[in-house]
A and B are shown apart, each in its own frame.
Chain A
């Protein structure tokens, strides 16, 4: 090979084929699907959008996935992480798909169903050892502040007697977590034949 122009065309073609298959096709498919939905479908509450930003900013995704696998492939459903597999349409409402690739912590696809108590989440975020001894999750104490003179309704007392309350970031994060109910409702594409 001694022609740079032929090499160059080869580089372009090899990359372009995969670009068509793995970038263009998914993008046009899901963009079309999203475009067919009424705008009202996407109106997420502001607090949930902010909570998702807090989730992204603090890298929850590096330990927590948000996807439930099929029964024959993974033990997710037996662990109680969801009562059906998640499919791509379950993420249509999101602005960013936070599927995750690690399970250093449990899956969160349905955490809003599995643990709907905001008090539990506040305590857990403040210090995971209080609710889940042995956890290796980092404490997110910086999302809380000492309770003010007129404490908010969600202020709480720690085992050592100190009273603290969540910052707006913590409130938003918990609102986001409680909104995660991805396996809700039956979908034909999520159907799995019952195990033999």
Chain B
């Protein structure tokens, strides 16, 4: 993006750059859409499992007689299909596409990514089937039985190799901040996953050592895999849509290295109050609070980039999702830093508050960012426009209102639950009864999000297989005017 000032002067350079992008997008089309379409399949399955699990918590007789559909299997099946099938699959598709754009390196050996996508889907199918049929390992975020991991690791090795191949072919000079995040995350995820599989599944360590490793893994999957890819997308898409470079290179650098250093130490805050020595927990509490550094840095950087362009939120679908996600990142991270403080965690741990927090991270931040990125990518990959602004509008409002309602209801209910748990005079069954209204609200929020996902999947399918509409203008919410788009 550094040379955009030069190319804006020279029409020939603009044309060269446009042709370059056409070549890159054509090379990425098949394999990247394979990954994205697979991810959307898992998103829909994960949504169905989520709704089932949510209803079961306030209506335990719902689908209770089939062991495959008991709550304790549907819930981990939901989490894993979302984490690996949807979010990770979409991160590979979005991340590699942004990488090839930024490295100005067309994707080579596309067939390898097609095979990798097939492997990724087999891994997820083996894992989901395994959980539902009674093979769950009951280690959080790692419930897929042992048979799934080799498929997933093999598929990911291809993605990492592809990313490195692009980095090696980049033109000489500056590496953009999105590339740092993507390059790092393509190594971090397989290292995390392989460590967890070896030490927890293949050759398990002594039992007391398992929860620390489990949470080192699970928290870092969010911190060092989903977060970097989604921040890379924000750093790429915000300047692209509003046509203005990122505010500060220096802040980007502080944000990146402080994230890498502090996030990696966060996981033990999931064990606060647990049977571990104080130093192990305290180091994570300290690191969690230090997360304020990268988070505020990134927030300031994005905010100053956006300033003067907030009007673009009125017309750009991509920007609306991306900015919603970026703001959620700030909120969820600050909330996370506060929740890691012992005095707060004492109340919120073991309650639905944590579940609400997790969804603010994985949905309002990660998933919304991936939606935004996909809205930007597909027209460029396919050289055609989204079929309907109304469908995108339905998607945005259902997802945004859904997840905020979800978060609000469960956070409040969870806080109340936590305070009640601390009161030994309150009978346990009374505590449960008081959570019921919030659990029902969560189901309704889930219904809303489901509608959003159906609108999204419909758009995506129409985009792929619908009649091609010949239009010369992009699908926007409204037509940008001088007032909404000063750039």
A1 and B208 in contact, given A23-B199, A138-B71 (Cβ under 8 angstroms)? no
- Among B52-60, B117-125, B148-156, the stretch that binds chain A is B52-60
- How long is the Cα–Cα vector from A188 to B221 in the complex, in angstroms? 36
**Which one of B191, B213, B352, B355 lies within 8 Å of A27 (CB-CB)?**
B213
**Which one of A22, A75, A91, A106 lies within 8 Å of B422 (CB-CB)?**
A75
Q: Which residues of B contact A94 (CB under 8 A)?
A: 207
Q: How many residues of A contact B (CB 8 A)?
A: 73
| Contact in complex: A103, B351 (CB < 8 Å) | yes
Q: A73-B342, A73-B346, A99-B211 are in contact. List 13 more A-B contacts (CB 8 A).
A: A1-B253, A12-B187, A22-B267, A23-B212, A58-B72, A88-B275, A96-B210, A97-B208, A102-B351, A102-B354, A102-B355, A141-B65, A142-B65
Listed A/B pairs (23) with beta-carbon separation below 8 Å: A1-B180, A2-B175, A22-B213, A27-B199, A30-B209, A56-B137, A57-B138, A59-B70, A63-B71, A67-B273, A69-B273, A73-B342, A75-B422, A91-B208, A93-B207, A96-B204, A102-B351, A103-B351, A103-B421, A133-B429, A136-B60, A136-B439, A138-B56
- How long is the Cα–Cα vector from A57 to B264 in the complex, in angstroms? 30
**Which one of A15, A22, A30 lies within 8 Å of B268 (CB-CB)?**
A22
| Contact in complex: A134, B135 (CB < 8 Å) | no
Interface majority SS (helix, strand, loop, mixed), chain B:
helix
Give B178-210 interface residues, CB cut-off 8 Å to A: 180, 183-184, 187-188, 191-192, 195, 199, 204-210
| Contact in complex: A101, B183 (CB < 8 Å) | no
Contact string against A for B residues 216-239, beta-carbon threshold 8 Å, 1 for contact and 0 otherwise:
100010001000000000000000
| Contact in complex: A138, B134 (CB < 8 Å) | no
Q: Which residues of B contact A65 (CB under 8 A)?
A: 350
Q: How far is the CB of A90 from chain B (nearest CB, A)?
A: 6
- Assess whether A49 is interfacial by the CB under 8 Å rule: no
| Contact in complex: A23, B216 (CB < 8 Å) | yes
- How long is the Cα–Cα vector from A138 to B204 in the complex, in angstroms? 30
Give A121-176 interface residues, CB cut-off 8 Å to B: 128, 132-142
Q: Which residues of B contact A56 (CB under 8 A)?
A: 136-138
| Contact in complex: B265, A27 (CB < 8 Å) | no
A11 and B135 in contact, given A74-B273, A86-B275, A101-B270 (Cβ under 8 angstroms)? no
Q: How far is the CB of B47 from chain A (nearest CB, A)?
A: 19
| Contact in complex: B350, A26 (CB < 8 Å) | no
**Which one of A73, A92, A99 lies within 8 Å of B206 (CB-CB)?**
A92
| Contact in complex: B136, A22 (CB < 8 Å) | no
| Contact in complex: B167, A4 (CB < 8 Å) | yes
Residue of A with least CB distance to B217: A23
- Assess whether A120 is interfacial by the CB under 8 Å rule: no
**Which one of B57, B136, B180 lies within 8 Å of A7 (CB-CB)?**
B180
Scoring B57, B76, B210, B216 by chain A CB atoms within 10 A of each residue's CB, the highest score goes to: B210
Contact string against B for A residues 21-50, beta-carbon threshold 8 Å, 1 for contact and 0 otherwise:
111001101110110000000000000000
Q: Which residues of A contact B192 (CB under 8 A)?
A: 15
Q: Which residues of A contact B253 (CB under 8 A)?
A: 1
Q: Which residues of A contact B267 (CB under 8 A)?
A: 22
- How long is the Cα–Cα vector from A67 to B75 in the complex, in angstroms? 22
- Assess whether B283 is interfacial by the CB under 8 Å rule: yes
Q: How far is the CB of A129 from chain B (nearest CB, A)?
A: 8
| Contact in complex: B283, A29 (CB < 8 Å) | no
- Assess whether A18 is interfacial by the CB under 8 Å rule: yes
Contacts from B to A (Cβ < 8 Å): 56-58, 60-61, 64-67, 70-73, 75-76, 134-140, 167-168, 172-175, 180, 183-184, 187-188, 191-192, 195, 199, 204-213, 216, 220, 224, 253, 257, 260-261, 264-265, 267-268, 270-271, 273-277, 280, 283-284, 342, 346, 349-352, 354-355, 421-424, 428-429, 432-433, 435-436, 439
Residue of A with least CB distance to B172: A2
Residue of A with least CB distance to B433: A134
- How long is the Cα–Cα vector from A87 to B275 in the complex, in angstroms? 4
**Which one of B60, B137, B220, B276 lies within 8 Å of A135 (CB-CB)?**
B60
**Which one of B61, B75, B209 lies within 8 Å of A62 (CB-CB)?**
B75
Q: Which residues of A contact B429 (CB under 8 A)?
A: 132-135
A57 and B134 in contact, given A11-B260, A75-B422 (Cβ under 8 angstroms)? yes
Contact string against B for A residues 47-81, beta-carbon threshold 8 Å, 1 for contact and 0 otherwise:
00000000111111111010101100111001100
Q: How far is the CB of A192 from chain B (nearest CB, A)?
A: 13
| Contact in complex: A23, B195 (CB < 8 Å) | yes
Q: How far is the CB of B67 from chain A (nearest CB, A)?
A: 4
| Contact in complex: A58, B70 (CB < 8 Å) | yes
> Which 3 pairs of residues, A with B, have the shortest CB-CB distance?
A59-B72, A18-B264, A78-B424
- How long is the Cα–Cα vector from A65 to B349 in the complex, in angstroms? 11
- How long is the Cα–Cα vector from A145 to B265 in the complex, in angstroms? 48
Q: How far is the CB of B452 from chain A (nearest CB, A)?
A: 25
Residue of B with least CB distance to A77: B424
